[in-house]
Structure 1
Amino acid sequence: MTGFSPDWLALREPADHAARNPQVLAAVGTHFSPRASLSIVDLGCGAGSNLRGTYAALPVRQHWTLVDHDPVLLATTREILKGWADEAREQGEELVLSKDDRTITVDTRQADLTKDLEWVLGWQPDLVTAAALFDLTSKTWIKRFVAALATQRLPLYTVLTYDGREIWEPAHPVDARMLAAFKHHQHTDKGFGPAAGPDATDIMAEAFRKSGFAVSIGDSAWRIDGQQRELAGTLAQGIADAVLETGHVDAGAVAEWLAARRQSTSALVGHHDLWARPV
């Protein structure tokens, strides 16, 4: 699976948290509100942003197992969480955090989700979560994943799955060509086979509904303004690099687009959140 740097994950975290759909998150919280404790497995945890964005909606005692393929990123995540918490202590291999009125126990596990998926889900959590993951995976893998959740009757809360929408201001003549090329790149193999890219949420929703799950979907688009120039510039650079890999837009046009985007006043990048639970 394609890796992401801690610097990029830290840069995007405020936008990720601001974009989360509040209705979908509230529905997850309401579902688990009768519980005093909850166990959660977070797939492709990155730097732990999903935990930080979700914990306040969940019961007062939480046990998170953070799963990623990158052992260096997992070690970094532990240090970031220690700094984020009000209090933190080591308890064997686990990290015990106090944050607001929550007690959060964290375990980190290295795993390859292309090979170890059923093993990870075999830990039988109360909730499976992920952030910005499923657009990287393939249609075949998503169907395998949903089937595994359905077998164990496990609910899923996932956020920030890219949906293909991009609107930059002011407009540029190359916008449409850049977006088409970027979408093409989004469907290339990211480690799971040909990626679902912007189709991922629709593929998941259909598979869950066929498995007898109730599905809720909410908009979670990034809305980037002129005060977020570093995020906008880094995002635009990533898009430009991806487009150049496709060869669908000549380098001169990409360079002109990138220069314009570094001066953009605003941008919308579309994502969706999804909450699926057995009924």
Structure 2
Amino acid sequence: MSGFSPDWLALREPADHAARNPQVLAAVGAAFASRQSLTVIDLGCGAGSNLRGTYSVLPARQYWTLVDFDPALLNVARERLTAWADEAEALGEELVLRKGDKSLTVDFRKADLNTDLEWVLGWQPDLVTAAALFDLTSVRWLERFVASLVSQRLPLYTALTYDGRESWEPAHPADAKMLAAFNHHQHSDKGFGPAAGPEATETLAQAFRKSGSAVTVGESPWVLDAGSAALTRELTAGIAAAVAETGHVDVETIASWLAARAKASSGRIGHLDLWARPV
């Protein structure tokens, strides 16, 4: 799976960080509060936003392995983390960062999460994490993923999985039809088979609970306003393009909806965060 624009990832990062569920994030931090160091694998890392959104609640010394299928995004992640850190030093393939009172050593690995999943999880981190990933994967893949985590007693923290909910002000007559068509598109194959889409978090939660793991789920919606105009514009253009691919909504209705969304005063896009750990 690849093809996500670095520009899109940069545009959404502030909304992603603002949306994270604080209770779920705090629970992750509390689980490792007694530790001096921690190893983390970040799946589908993109440009490194998840590290930047998570590091502050984790121990003073952190060892991250960022995994993505797209080598160009791994290079962007390296560049953006270097610029973000208070101090940065390249040591071979690793990047050693200082941010506030945290020391982070970051490695970058190209891997295909279809064929290489068990190999990646076999690195035995203390924590597995991901953001805005699992709605793109299939139910079968998610069940395989949870089984592998459970067998190795690995905890998972995942943020910003799309949950199928969306609302806008002012409303438009086509809102419900557009949302239904978009959610239908979300089930199309994104590289892992038919995608779980908005049901991904519930699929993960059920699989973990069946295994006896403890699970915490919290809402993490994007809340869009006048200051989010650029993000709203790109988001709604993407929604309109996806809906057009389904053929479920006529071109005129899509155009009318898109024009209305350009003038939206506010919007709310639903996501869910999940923290699952062995007991």
Q: TM-score range by the shorter chain?
A: over 0.9
Partners of 1:3 and 1:189 in 2: CA distance? 14
For 2:208, the equivalent position in structure 1 comes to 208
For 1:273, the equivalent position in structure 2 comes to 273
1:158 aligns with 2:188: no
Partners of 2:64 and 2:203 in 1: CA distance? 27
Partners of 1:3 and 1:196 in 2: CA distance? 19
For 1:63, the equivalent position in structure 2 comes to 63
Preserved contact between residue 2 and residue 190 of structure 1 (Cα < 8 Å): no
For 1:172, the equivalent position in structure 2 comes to 172
1:135 aligns with 2:127: no
For 1:6, the equivalent position in structure 2 comes to 6
Q: C-alpha offsets along residues 178-204 of structure 1, whole Å, 9 cap, x if unaligned?
A: 000000000000000000000001000
Tell me how far 1:212 sits from its aligned partner.
1.1
Tell me how far 1:174 sits from its aligned partner.
0.5
Q: C-alpha offsets along residues 50-109 of structure 1, whole Å, 9 cap, x if unaligned?
A: 000000000000000000000011011101000000000011110000000000000000
Q: C-alpha offsets along residues 121-170 of structure 1, whole Å, 9 cap, x if unaligned?
A: 00000000000000000000000000000010000000000000000110
Map residues 26-41 of structure 1 onto 2, 5 A cutoff.
Answer: 26-41=26-41
Ranges in structure 2 where 5+ consecutive residues have no aligned partner: none
Q: 1:99 corresponds to which letter in structure 2?
A: K
Q: 1:165 corresponds to which letter in structure 2?
A: R
Preserved contact between residue 155 and residue 278 of structure 1 (Cα < 8 Å): yes
Partners of 1:11 and 1:204 in 2: CA distance? 28
Q: 1:64 corresponds to which letter in structure 2?
A: W
Map residues 209-224 of structure 1 onto 2, 5 A cutoff.
Answer: 209-224=209-224
Tell me how far 1:2 sits from its aligned partner.
4.5
Q: 1:156 corresponds to which letter in structure 2?
A: L
Preserved contact between residue 217 and residue 272 of structure 1 (Cα < 8 Å): yes
Partners of 2:226 and 2:49 in 1: CA distance? 23
Tell me how far 1:226 sits from its aligned partner.
1.2
Partners of 1:48 and 1:75 in 2: CA distance? 10
Partners of 1:157 and 1:276 in 2: CA distance? 7
Partners of 1:227 and 1:109 in 2: CA distance? 35
Partner SS, residue 274 of structure 1:
strand
Ranges in structure 1 where 5+ consecutive residues have no aligned partner: none
Tell me how far 1:227 sits from its aligned partner.
1.3
Q: 1:168 corresponds to which letter in structure 2?
A: W
Determine what percentage of the aligned residue pairs are the same residue: 70
Map residues 93-108 of structure 1 onto 2, 5 A cutoff.
Answer: 93-108=93-108
4+ runs deviating over 3 angstroms:
none
Q: 2:36 corresponds to which letter in structure 1?
A: A
Tell me how far 1:271 sits from its aligned partner.
0.3
> What TM-score does the superposition give when structure 1 sets the normalisation length?
0.99
Partners of 2:253 and 2:43 in 1: CA distance? 37
Partner SS, residue 227 of structure 2:
coil
Partners of 2:153 and 2:3 in 1: CA distance? 30
Partner SS, residue 13 of structure 1:
helix
Partners of 1:106 and 1:20 in 2: CA distance? 22
Give aligned pairs, total. Answer: 279
Relative distance call for 1:2 and 1:256 in structure 2 (3 A) is farther
For 2:46, the equivalent position in structure 1 comes to 46
Partner SS, residue 228 of structure 1:
helix
For 1:17, the equivalent position in structure 2 comes to 17
Partners of 2:152 and 2:211 in 1: CA distance? 12
Tell me how far 1:3 sits from its aligned partner.
2.3
